[in-house]
Chain A
Amino acid sequence: MIDLDEFRAKARDWLSTMAGEFGREARRGLSPEQDLALGRRYMAAKYEAGFGGINMPVEFGGRGLSGLHKIVFETEEMEIGFPTVYFGISLGMPIPIIMKFCEDKAWVRERVIAALRGEEIWCQLFSEPAAGSDLAGLRMKAEQDGNGWKLNGQKLWTSHAHLADYGIIVARSDPNVPKHKGLTYFWVDMHAQGVEAKPFELLDHEVVCNEVFFDDVKLTDGQRIGPVGGGFGVALATLMIERYVAGDADGFGPTIPFFVDFARDVELNGRPAIEDGRIRSAIARNYALRNGLRSIRDRAFLMMEAGMEPGPEGSLSKLASVRSRQKLSELAIDLRGAAGLAYDPDAGSKEDWVSSWLSVPTGRIAGGADEMLLNTIAERILGLPQDHRPDKGVPFNQIPA
């Protein structure tokens, strides 16, 4: 396997040749449609250059390298601000799930390559209006229909559903058993009759999330992933993948060196802010936290490569990094004084403090709210008791609404 330093050098070389055509500057002022089209072209170029599916198996069209290679590439890639946001979830969870669970390997390979090239996008249809943290309380109905299935209900918060060609979905196939036991997992064609995705705006006007309505949507039994009634297990496997995919020590916001540069430029009491003890304290604390997260992540990948199960401390990543980003973004706005009130809606959340601050609450909720992550750590890792759950063991259709 190619050595990490050599790989980093190759990645840097290639990425620098792409920056002009696809980077942050090239994207400025593009409409959402134009940006997506640019993103698809970038993904195709990346695949052709051998940087698509870095740690995915060769048999499915990936490169068969390690998770660390992927991190190395993405760290370099993120610096340049390429339009990859549309493909993160697609390649992060649904694609690994179909590789792991679907039996028609030729079909899977086609989907993987199309997704890697940006030709197809997958979404993850989990949350619902009445089921967020309590995912197993979902109500999307899956009924047997001849040899196949029929879906009725509504999903919510589905990222990129309006752009997606396919989705993975969890639905209730049996309301007569306790909630975790009556779920079944499928893949769906987002262009099928009866599927309607309605995007809506988040508080910063970003259009990512959708309400998705299913009205008598027909599925074959071949679209089922895992056993009937075994959907929650597959959903947990999906969320386990998400735990590592969602790992960015900077919480997908600005980095510490970026803050250091900023604190050198901005003045506090007539001196560069970086000379102020309060600012130094904040930098040091956040650096230490993020360095710890990076170390945890690197160790997890090394363990996986060595065939070991990584430690449960990986579950800290999102919890700690996003809170760090939120506090640091607030501090950066404070430091700018009255100038901190300005807002540029076109600025990205990796290099603009107001954009970072406006979009950061999403990070503390999506993929497991802080409070749920703390529960998971407390219960799964530390062996502390579960919360009082009045619906425990009660058939789903007898849980008081």
Chain B
Amino acid sequence: MTILYDEAQEAIAVESRRVLDDKYDLQRLLDLVDVTGSFDEELWQSAVEQGWTALAVPEQYGGLGLGLVELGLIAQNLGALTVGVPFLSGNDAFVQLLLAGSDEAAREAWLPRIAAGEAIGVAALGEGTSPFPAAPAATVVDGKLSGSKAAVAGALKADAAVVWASANGKPALVLVELDDTMRRAVDSFDNSRLYGELVFDGAAATVLLEGEAARKAALKALARLAVVTACEQTGGGEQAMKIARDYALERKAFGQPIAAFQSIKHRIAEIYGLVELARANCIDAAARESEADFVLKACAARLSASEAYDTAARDAVQIHGGIGVTWQLGLHLHMRRARSLSAELGSPLFWEDLLVSELEGATA
């Protein structure tokens, strides 16, 4: 697959950005920060109308049948504007896991609803501090799932989850409807991510995959989720860099724009470098989804995007000086989102280890 965008992909990037720019409302985003369980319902409606929920769902299930590249372009724009809808990446992981299994009835039941924006899905893989435990403690016995899964984005509004659990002494991926599931909401520093722990107590669960097949599918879905999130982080990092640049050009001190001081201009140039490396890794990974080294490339994208966004957000605040730490300016939305996106899918500590394990496998 080529790493240059075609015209349709360019159009998705431009059009989705236009829609998001139209809907952007800083005050609404600020209002969401403090309220656990809140998200941007208006923007979510637009996303559904634009067909973003259908984007990567196969056509036979009512989707548009597009791929990771297109999804990544939208995610990049979502990230740039720190939107308050956390559902697209989780939906995609849910869809991917249903597709990896062989339960056609489950696919027919859920995928058209996901595509139409009528249902929200998540992938619940992590437990405790591990985003992907080798032997999950959550257990299925006689079709009933018990145990708790670590907080995932979107969990507070999700209708169904694919859960990484143990069944018959082996790891498995199981599908669970969340109607009756207890969700332990996280009062977060970034509440519009809708973080919630899922606590199962004998919930009806359908096994989709077991054993090594389940592990491989889960790892691949996690890697794909990492790439989508890395695109979102890259978009956020780029935007934070541009905000910092624009402010440094406008703000004057000692008789000149502060951007004329090398301590400022070099800092912004360094952020540019991090953002471009992240973007390049995202493009590379998105083009290699069907290759043997996809997980390795996803790790690289995830790591460089986390570094780029964290650095960009941190330094953008610093470059602004006092105004950067005010509530009303809203630059803290990037600071918050950079941290939440870095933490929510397994921190860089996890992805570093996974990357090296993949490299060791490749060179063994």
User: Which residue of A260, A377, A383, A384 contacts B273 across the interface (Cβ within 8 Å)?
Assistant: A377
Q: Say whether A274 contacts B360, CB under 8 Å.
A: yes
Does B184 make an interface contact (CB < 8 A)?
Answer: no
Across the interface, do A260 and B363 meet the contact criterion of CB distance under 8 Å? yes
A120 to B281, CA, bound (A): 40
What 1/0 mask marks residues of chain B from 331 to 364 whose CB sits below 8 Å from any chain A CB?
A: 0000000000000000001011101100110010
Stretch among A145-153, A195-203, A295-303 lining the B interface: A295-303
Interface stretch of the complex, out of A17-25, A51-59, A103-111, A284-292: A284-292
Interface residue? B278 (CB, 8 A) = yes
B210-243, CB < 8 A from A: none
Nearest residue (CB) in A for B3 is A299
Roughly how many angstroms separate A289 CA and B3 CA in the complex, as a whole number? 18
- Inter-subunit contact A378/B265 (CB<8 Å): yes
Closest partner residue, chain B, to A319 (CB atom): B273
Contact bitstring B1-22, A, C-beta under 8 A = 1, else 0: 0111000000000000000000
Q: Cβ of B186 < 8 Å from any Cβ of A? A: no
Q: Is A9 an interface residue (CB 8 A)?
A: no
* A384 near B283: Cβ-Cβ < 8 Å: no
Size range of the interface on B? 35 or more
Q: Which residues of B contact A288 (CB under 8 A)?
A: 277, 281, 299-301, 303-304, 307, 355
Please tell me which one of the listed residues A264, A277, A384 contacts residue B260 in the complex, with CB atoms under 8 A apart.
A384
Whether B276 sits at the interface, judged by CB under 8 Å, is: yes
Instruction: State A374–B270 Cα separation when bound (angstroms).
Output: 7
A299 touches B269 (CB 8 A): no
> Are B281 and A387 in contact, CB atoms less than 8 angstroms apart?
no
Q: Is the CB of A295 within 8 A of B269?
A: no
Contact yes or no, B276 A316, CB < 8 A: yes
Q: Provide the main secondary structure of the chain B interface.
A: helix
For A379, list chain B residues within 8 Å (CB).
265
- Measured between beta carbons, the chain A residues less than 8 angstroms from B349 are 277, 281
A385 to chain B, nearest CB (A): 4
Contact check, B303 vs A306: say whether CB atoms are below 8 A apart: no
Chain A count of residues within 8 A CB distance of the other chain:
44
Residue with the highest number of chain B CB atoms closer than 10 Å, among A285, A292, A374: A292
Contact (Cβ within 8 A) A256 B3: no
- For residue A332, give the distance in angstroms from its CB to the closest CB of chain B: 15
Report if A313 contacts B (CB, 8 A).
Answer: yes
B300 touches A374 (CB 8 A): no
- What separation, in Å, do the CA atoms of A281 and B353 have in the docked complex? 7
Q: Are A302 and B2 in contact (CB under 8 A)?
A: yes
Known contacts A280-B352, A289-B277, A302-B2; decide if A381 and B284 are in contact (CB<8 Å): no
Give Cα A386–Cα B249 distance, bound, in whole angstroms.
12
Given contacts A298-B3, A374-B269, A378-B265, contact A285 B276 (CB under 8 A): no
CB distance B303 to A284 under 8 Å? yes
Inter-subunit contact A256/B277 (CB<8 Å): no
- Asked if B272 is at the interface of the complex by the 8 Å CB criterion, the answer is yes
Residues of A close to B68: CB separation below 8 A: none
Instruction: Judge whether A384 and B3 touch: CB under 8 Å.
Output: no
Q: Chain A 371-398, CB within 8 Å of chain B: the 1/0 string?
A: 1001101110111111110000000000
Inter-chain contact A299/B4, CB cutoff 8 Å = yes
Whether A280 contacts B265 by the Cβ 8 Å rule is: no
B193: chain A residues within 8 A (beta carbon): none
In the complex, B137 has a CB within 8 A of chain A: no
Pick 29 A–B contacts, CB within 8 A, sort by A. A260-B356, A264-B360, A277-B353, A284-B299, A284-B303, A284-B351, A284-B353, A287-B359, A288-B300, A288-B304, A292-B278, A292-B304, A293-B280, A296-B277, A296-B280, A299-B3, A299-B280, A302-B3, A313-B276, A313-B279, A319-B273, A374-B270, A375-B265, A378-B259, A378-B268, A378-B269, A383-B245, A384-B265, A385-B249
Task: Identify the B interface with A (CB < 8 A).
Answer: 2-4, 245, 248-249, 256-257, 259-260, 262, 265-266, 268-270, 272-273, 276-281, 283-284, 297, 299-301, 303-304, 307, 349, 351-353, 355-356, 359-360, 363
Chain A residues near B (Cβ < 8 Å): 256-257, 260-261, 264, 274, 277, 280-281, 283-285, 287-289, 291-296, 298-299, 302-303, 306, 313, 316, 319-320, 371, 374-375, 377-379, 381-388
